[in-house]
Amino acid sequence: MTQTLSKPMINLRGFQILLAAVFALWACAAQAVTLNFDQYIGGEDLGAGPVATLEATDVIGGVELTLTNLAAPGSIIGRLWMMFDGDTSGLSLAAGSDVRDFSTSPWMVAGSTYDINTAFWGGTGSAAILFNDSITFTLLGASVADLFGGAPGALINIAGLDGSGTARYAASLAAVPLPAAGLMLLAALGLLGVSRRRVS
């Protein structure tokens, strides 16, 4: 039995398929995550609340990272360690990144092994992350899904403090936001199912 579709029905079906494609692409689009450094590891205890944040966003060719110092007046974030789930041999920094030193040699700190070691302070002309300041840099050859595997997935060293003079804080384990992408994908599949049912 052949069924003839009216023009409005065809247009509606085409719109549903287009909308489903948009949702599917959105599900696979760039991911972003924010880590809060609020787990005291050692040195001077700065109390409750995040002493820093790290925003990671997928960009073309890598991950853009913005590290912000919220610790205390006079503080300087000198170093950031991150875990990486994958082959680190292809990782590099984009040109112009304000990072004094970058290494992918495994670094054992606070009982965890970190694959990426970045330093912002201590060298001539290097940029320091001062209180209420931030630095943005791009890690090429990586994606958000590759970073921060395990707990804690990232660690910072803060200098320039009173008392012991340094502090180390780990980031709260923050899952890569796949649930939102999953919802978008389910919405896309649902729309395709609806359009198929109307045709049959």
Per-residue model confidence (pLDDT) at position 114: 94
Amino acid at 136: T
Chain-wide mean pLDDT for the chain?
A: 78
Would the pLDDT of 122 be above 50? yes
- Position 152 confidence tier, pLDDT thresholds 50, 70, 90: confident
State the pLDDT confidence band at 136, using cuts at 50, 70 and 90: very high
- Nearest-Å Rg of the Cα atoms of the chain is 23
> What value does the mean pLDDT take over residues 153-171?
88
CB burial readout 107-118, b (16+ within 10 A) else e: bebeebebbbbb
- What is the reported pLDDT for 161? 83
- What does the pLDDT average to over 135-154? 90
Residues pairing with 109 in the sheet: 112
* pLDDT higher than 60, residue 90: yes
Task: Give Cβ neighbours of residue 191 (< 8 Å, ≥ 6 apart).
Answer: 16, 17, 19, 20, 23
Residue whose structure tokens are 């180390």: 168
- 32 contacts 15 by C-beta, under 8 angstroms: no
Tokens 């890598």: give the residue. Answer: 62
